[in-house]
Amino acid sequence: MRLAGRGASSAPQDAAAAPARSYSIYLRLLTVILSALALVWVMVIAGTWYITRHEVNELLDTHLEQTALLLAAQPLDEIDEDEFGELEQRPRRGKGGRKYHIHTVYQVWKGDSLLAQSLHAPRQPLGDGSLGFSDARTGQRNWRVFTAAGDDDKVRVMVAEDAEVRHEIATASVRTLLLALLLMFPVVALVAWLSLRAAMRPLREVGQQIAQRPPHSHAPLMLERTPREIQPLTRAINQMFVRIGDMLQNERRFTADAAHELRTPIAAIRMMAQVALGAQDDGERQHALQGVLQGCDRATRMVEQLLQLARLEADTEDAAARTDGAPTADILPALRQVVQDLQYTQADPRDQTIECEAPAQLPSSLPPTLAGVLLRNLLDNALRYSPDGAEVRVSFAQQPEGGVRWVVEDSGPGMSEEDMARLGERFFRVLGTGKTGSGLGWSIVRRIAARHGLDIVLGRSEALGGLRVVVESARRP
């Protein structure tokens, strides 16, 4: 029957030390966002300034061109100075009036002769006679001029607008837009600040939950709505709490197990020590002291097994990742050393023999130290529960797919199917054997098998009649 299959366990690595210098993600993001907004705002303002001034000047140029063409279309003798006199009104603002009135003047030239002009037009030509737009300066005033041809090709009609007034109109239009943009920037910055603050709220909630947790609590973090960006963080924290909970549970279980299991050996040692103190002869005292030493040996072995089991159960790393990615090494020297040690310490005193069959090398991803622990527990159980003069056989072989296969057989009494099914439970011992033990050896074997993806198959040995244990790499599906 199969006892253990692939499992997962490993020890969490120590967290890296926190950096000495910390910084605020919130302030960094806020600085970047506001700086980007300010840069974009400056670009928008510059673009708005340029485009708006250009469009206003285009509009004024169109008005200037239409006025010049209208005058040029009139016969010279029909131009009424009073009719176009309003073109010369200076900029002013009165009740119910517009803010800006453009100061416009005109001249009509034929060659070098000035045929007509508006009241406030200068005497010198406003342009050089070239058709279209031009800029001119007369006295202290700058003009924007459009020259059109009259009925006679030699006649030139020049209409000019005060450039200063045009500049004031364009600047006023741009100023209104820029003021609106400048007033909008604090609003946008405030919205960005509030949005970023709201986005950082889940991180603050995580920090508050962790700060308010009871010292021994390892319940998962619970957030009403977890953003996708921090889900990996909360998942990792919850997994860490699970590992911490498992570690604390293992520590509590180890303490309880040690207190429970060491009670009997310590009581036996105390009793034998009392017998030695009250012994009347050397033989009785020697026998009692021998019992004290045996009790100390049993307690020492039990503590070692408890520590081994605690270390294995603290390791929660994925077993498949360990087995598939771990480097291989020859574990045969470690296994031979275990066989030699047990032959000398346990088998020889009881006239037992350990036969070992192995290839020249046995590469495996199982660490040699754990391989030795696994074999030591299997052989210890085989020797312990076999009678004096019994034979124990152990063989090692390389599997075709690269794994290893161990077989441990003994000539002991064997065990029932029901007992085989319970092997590996903590402190389970088969009753009626007359042997002392803690039941931890098989727990250690099972844990190592689960940790490194090994299968353990139990059965009856056809050759020796006792228990047959097969350890092999789990087959891939």
- Cα separation, 146 vs 157, whole angstroms: 8
Q: For residue range 378-412, list pLDDT tens digits in order.
A: 888 888 888 888 888 898 888 777 678 889 888 87
| Pair of tokens at residue 208 | 């508050």
CB atoms within 10 A of CB 108: 22
Say if residues 448 and 465 touch (Cβ distance below 8 Å): no
Say if residues 122 and 109 touch (Cβ distance below 8 Å): no
Q: Roughly what angle, to the nearest 10 degrees, separates helices 231-278 and 282-313?
A: 180
Indicate the range of 18-27, 31-40, 418-427, 447-456 predicted with least confidence. 418-427
Mean pLDDT of the chain: 75
Look up the pTM and report it: 0.45
Q: Taking the chain, what is the end-to-end CA distance rounded to the nearest angstrom?
A: 19
- Cα separation, 110 vs 127, whole angstroms: 13
Residue 322 has pLDDT above 60, yes or no: no
**Architecture of the domain made up of 240-313:** Orthogonal Bundle (1.10)
Chain CA centroid to CA 143, Å: 67
Secondary-structure class of domain 319-473 per CATH: alpha beta
Tell me the chain's radius of gyration from C-alpha atoms: 50
CA angle, 270 as apex, 440 and 430 as ends, to 5°?
30
* pLDDT on residue 383: 86
| Pair of tokens at residue 13 | 């690595």
Q: For residue range 188-225, list pLDDT tens digits in order.
A: 888 888 888 888 888 888 888 788 878 777 777 776 67
| Pair of tokens at residue 85 | 């006199």
Contacting residues for 430 by C-beta, under 8 A, at least 6 apart: 385, 415, 419
Q: For residue range 220-232, list pLDDT tens digits in order.
A: 777 667 777 778 8
Q: With helix as H, strand as E and coil as C, how does the chain read?
A: CEEECCCECCCCCCCCCCCCCCCCHHHHHHHHHHHHHHHHHHHHHHHHHHHHHHHHHHHHHHHHHHHHHHHHHCCHHHCCCCCCHHHHCCCCCCCCCCCCCCCEEEEEEECCEEEEECCCCCCCCCCCCCCEEEEEEECCEEEEEEEEECCCCCEEEEEEEEHHHHHHHHHHHHHHHHHHHHHHHHHHHHHHHHHHHHHCHHHHHHHHHHHHCCCCCCCCCCCCCCCHHHHHHHHHHHHHHHHHHHHHHHHHHHHHHHHHHHHHHHHHHHHHHHHHHHCCCHHHHHHHHHHHHHHHHHHHHHHHHHHHHHHHHCCCCEHHHHHHHCCCEECHHHHHHHHHHHHHHHHHHHCCEEEEECCCCCEECCCHHHHHHHHHHHHHHHHHCCCCCCEEEEEEEECCCCCEEEEEEECCCCCCHHHHHHCCCCCCCCCCCCCCCCCCHHHHHHHHHHHCCEEEEEEECCCCCCEEEEEEECCCC
Mean predicted confidence (pLDDT) in 143-164: 84
Q: For residue range 49-89, list pLDDT tens digits in order.
A: 888 888 888 888 898 888 888 888 877 665 555 545 445 44
| Domain spans in the chain, listed from the N-terminal domain onward | 72-160, 240-313, 319-473
Residue that the structure tokens 């529960």 belong to = 385
Say if residues 1 and 420 touch (Cβ distance below 8 Å): yes
Q: For residue range 18-42, list pLDDT tens digits in order.
A: 455 777 788 888 888 889 888 988 8
CB atoms within 10 A of CB 392: 26
